[in-house]
Amino acid sequence: MKLDFAYIGLLILAFGCSTHAPKEAPSENLTDFVNPFIGTDGPGNTYPGATTPFGMVQLSPDIGIPGWDRIAGYYYQDSIISGFSHTHLTGTGAGDLYDILVMPTNSRFSDSIPENNFKPYSKFDHQKEGASPGYYWVDLLNYGIKAEMTSTSRVGIHRYTFPEDKDTQIHVDLGYSLNWDKPTDTFIKVVNDSTLQGHRMSTGWARNQRLFFEMHFSKPFDSYKIDDGNKENNSKIILNYATSDGEQIVVKTGLSSVSSEAAGKAIRVEAQEDFDTIKTKTQEIWEKELQKISIVSEDSDKKSIFYTMLYQSMLAPTLYSDSNGEYKAANDANGKLKDGTDSIAKADGFNRYDTFSLWDTFRAAHPLYTLIQPEKVPDMIKSLLAHYTETGVLPVWSMQGSETNMMIGYHAVPVIVDAYFKGFQFDVDLAYKACKESAMVNERQIDVYKERGFIPVDEHHENWSVSKTMEYAYDDWCIAMFAKDLGKQEDYEYFLKRSENWKNLYNSKRSWLQPKDIEGEFIEPFVPKEYSPHFCESNAWHYYWYVPQDIAGLIEKTGGEERFEQKLDSMFSYAPSPEDKLPVFSTGMIGQYAHGNEPSHHVAYLYNYLNQPSKAQKLVLEILENQYKNEPNGHCGNEDCGQMSSWYILSSLGFYPVNPAQGVYDLGVPMFEEAEIKVGDNKTFTIQKKGNSEDMFVESVVLNGKKLERSYITHKEIMNGGTLVFTMTNDAKLADKNQLKTPEVNKIYN
C-alpha cells in the first residue's frame, strides 16, 4: 500500500522527528499530559485534530497531499495546511474519509501548487500550533488567520480569527479528496446567508459512503459563488466576507448519514453554546474518561505516553447513528436493503458504532474496553450484530456503513464471545447465530477451509493462506466455547475440531507452519523470514506463535518446552540481514519480532508458558521503553484504531490477554509505582509495584493479600476490585523459581 510521491522543497521542514509539539505546563488535569501529536510523524498515521471519545467527528488539519505518510491527512514533517476536514481514520494503512474541507483565506496570499491540486493553502509552524483532547489550533501564517477546532459527538466547530481584509473568504470544498477517497455525488444548497446544507457521497476503501451536513456561520456572508470546477462531483462554495482586525467567525458543521435535516438537528441538540463553552465541555468529557485510570510516576514523559495511549484507544470505533438512532444501513448499494426495505436503519436503545478495525483491535483494544468502557461494550456488540442483520454476516473491517473486507478472519467473533462470557447484555441467540453463520459462509475462501481443513496457495497476490487458516481456527475455537456454554454439543464438537486446523499446515520435518498447494503438498522452497503472499503482512516467524487457543498444543508440536524456548529465543535474536527486503509494516523490530504490526503482539508473553517469566518481563519492558515515545515519531508502527495504544496501556499496568476471549490476562511487569483502575460500581482495582526503581523482574505477585501461584489474573478478579502487588527483584532466577500455572486449554474463566 506504500505510495511514492515527489515533494517540492518548500513542503518539508528541516527539523527532525524528535521535535516535541508545544505543550502547556503540567497540571493536575490529565488532559494536560495528552500529546495528540504522537504518531503524526513516522509510521503512526495518527491525526492531531479535535474529536470526542468514540465521536462521529474528527475535525483535523489536512496537508492536502496524498501518500502513505498522509493517510490520516496530516504529516508532521510538512509545512503547509490546505484546510480542515471533518472525518479521519486513526492510525490505519488505508487512505479514506477527509469529508467536507473548510479553508479560510484572504487577499494576503494566493499562490497555488500542483502537489495539493491547486487548492488554497498556507504555511504553518509547529511553534504556532497546538493540540489537546478536543481542541486543535494553528496560525495560518500566509493569511494571518488563527484557526481553532473543537467538536461534540456529531458536530465540528471551527473558530477563525481574522485580520482586517475586505476580501476574506471561507472555502467549503466537497470535491476535495485524498489517497483512495473519491467523491461520487456532491451537492451544496444555500439555505440563507448563514446556513448551508448538502451532501458528499463517496467511494474509496469503504464503498457507498453517504455523508449529509448542515453548516451554520456565526456571521452572515456578504455573497457567495458555487464553483463546480467544470468537473463532475467537485462542488465547492466560496463565501465572501469583509472582516475587521481580530474579528472571529464560528462555523458549526453537523454530520449525519441520513439527511441534512438530521445534521442540523445535531447542531441544535449538541452545539448551541459558544466555542469556548463547547471546548470546555469536550475537554471535561475527555478528563472524565482519562480519570478511569490513574497512575503514579515521577517521569512526566511516561505519564504523557500513558495518557496519550489512553486517549488514542478511544478514537475508534466511531459513532455512526444520529441522536434519534437512525443511520444508513450497512452495504446499502442501491438505496434498499437485501430484503427490499428502506435503506435507513434505526438503533433502538443503543448508539450504533462503526470503524471496526477488528483484525487489529480484537487482540487488546476490545478487552481493554471491557475493563474501562463497560457502558459502551453492549452498544459495540449490538452494532456488530446490526451489521449482521443488515448484511447476513458479521463485519470484517467496516466503516461508514460499508464492509471493506480488509484483512482476514471473522474477528467480530472473539469480541462478541469475550463480551458474552464477561456478562455483558445483548441478544445472545442472535449473537450465536451471527457467529456461526459468519463462519459458515462460502466467501473469503471459507468454503475451501471448511472442505479441506486448510487454505491452499492460489494465484491471488494476497492469498495469505497460512494466516487465514490460523486465524479462522482461532475464531472457530471461540465459537466452540460459545456453543459449549449454550449447550449446543454438536456445534461445539464441530468447531472445536475446526479450531485444530492449524495443525494441518504444520510441517514436522521443518518445524514450521508452512503453506500447502492444492494437492496438500508443502510449498518449497520455503524461507521463513521472507514476506510472501502466504502470510498476511508478516512472515512465518510472526505467525508461528498464533495459536492462542492451544499454546500447550503448539509447544508439543514444536518438540517440547526446551525446543519451544530455543525457537522463541531465536524469534527475538534473529535479526533481519541488511539485504532483506522489509515491507512498510515491518517496523518496531526485535529480531524477527515486529511490534509495529499486530500478529506479534502476544508473543513476548509466551515465555510464561515455559516457566520463564523473567524473559517475558525483560522483553515487555524493552518494548514499553523503546517502541513508544513522547514525540511525533512516537509510534513504531500504524496505531491501528486503538490496538497499538491498548497494548501499551494493558502491558504497562502489568498484564495482557494472550487469548483475548478466554477471560484472563497473562501477567507481565508493571511500569508504574502504582496504578488505579475504576472498574464500575464504585470499585477500584489497584496495582502496586514494590522494590527498587532499577528492578526489572517480578519475584512474587499477591492478590488481595494472597500470593498468586499462577501466571494470570481473571477479568472477574479485576472487576471485583482489590489490590494486586508486584514485588520486584533484579534477580532473574528469583523470578523464574516458581512453577506458575498457566491458563488451561479449552477453559473460559468467567
pLDDT of 459: 81
Domain membership of residue 336 (yes or no) is no
Residue 233 lies in a domain: yes
Contacts of 614 (CB under 8 A, 6+ apart): 607, 697, 732, 733, 735, 736
Amino acid at 649: I
Average pLDDT over every residue of 579-606: 95
pLDDT at 661 over 60: yes
Q: Is 579 contained in some domain?
A: no
Percent of the chain with pLDDT over 70: 94
Q: What is the per-residue pLDDT for 11?
A: 35
Q: Tell me the average pLDDT of the chain.
A: 94
- Lowest-confidence segment of 226-235, 398-407, 498-507 by average pLDDT: 226-235
Does 335 or 643 have the greater pLDDT score?
A: 643
Q: What are phi and psi of 84, to 5 degrees?
A: -135, 115
Q: Which range has the worst mean pLDDT, 115-119, 149-153, 274-278, 459-463?
A: 459-463
Assign residue 35 a region (left: φ > 0; alpha: ψ between -120 and 50; beta: otherwise). beta
Q: Which of 78-87, 460-469, 471-480 has the lowest mean pLDDT?
A: 460-469
pLDDT of residue 680: 83
Q: What is the pLDDT of residue 18?
A: 35
**Single-letter amino acid code for the residue at 516:** K
Full residue range of the structural domain in which residue 232 is found: 9-291
| 103-117, 245-259, 509-523, 575-589: least confidently modelled range | 575-589
Backbone angles phi, psi at 113, to 5 degrees: -135, 150
| 262 assigned to some structural domain | yes
Tally the domains of the chain.
1
pLDDT band per the 50, 70, 90 thresholds, residue 462: confident
Q: Which pLDDT belongs to residue 668?
A: 98
Residue for grid cell 472473539 = 414
Domain assignment present for 229: yes
Could you tell me which of 194, 199, 252 has the C-alpha nearest to residue 221? 194
- Percent of the chain at pLDDT > 90 equals 91
Residue 582 has pLDDT above 60, yes or no: yes
Of the listed ranges 457-461, 627-631, 654-658, 743-747, the least confidently predicted one is: 457-461
pLDDT of residue 8: 32
Look up the CATH number of the domain holding residue 82: 2.70.98.10
The pLDDT tens digits for 699-716 are 999 999 999 999 999 999
**Distance separating alpha carbons of residues 696 and 715, to the nearest angstrom:** 25
Q: What is the pLDDT of residues 304-319, one digit of tens each?
A: 999 999 999 999 999 9
Give the end-to-end CA distance of the chain in Å, rounded to a whole number. Answer: 41
Q: What secondary structure does DSSP assign to 67-133, as a single string?
A: SGGGTTS--TTB-EE-EEES---SS-SS-----SEEEEE-TT-----GGGTT---EE--GGGEEEET
Would 594 be classed as within a structural domain?
Answer: no
Q: Is 631 a residue whose pLDDT tops 90?
A: yes
Q: Is residue 176 part of a domain?
A: yes
Confidence at residue 27, expressed as pLDDT on a 0 to 100 scale:
53
Q: What is the pLDDT of residue 21?
A: 42
Helix (H, G, I), strand (E, B) or coil at 479: helix
Residue with cell 496570499: 109
Q: Give the model confidence (pLDDT) of 336-354 as tens digits.
A: 555 555 589 999 999 999 9
> From CA 644, how far away is CA 91, in angstroms rounded?
9
- So what's the pLDDT on residue 232? 59
Instruction: Read off the pLDDT of residues 522-565 as tens digits, 9 standing for 90 and up.
Output: 999 999 999 999 999 999 999 999 999 999 999 999 999 999 99
Cell matching residue 192? 440563507
Q: Are 213 and 199 in contact (CB under 8 A)?
A: yes
C-alpha dist (Å) from residue 304 to 111, 118, 311, 631: 39, 38, 10, 10
Handedness of CA 565, 569, 572, 575 (dihedral sign): negative
For residue 249, give the H/E element and its range: strand 247-256
pLDDT value at residue 738? 85
Q: Is residue 726 in some structural domain?
A: no
Alpha-carbon distance values, 172 to 142, 169, 261, 445, 601 (Å):
19, 10, 19, 44, 42
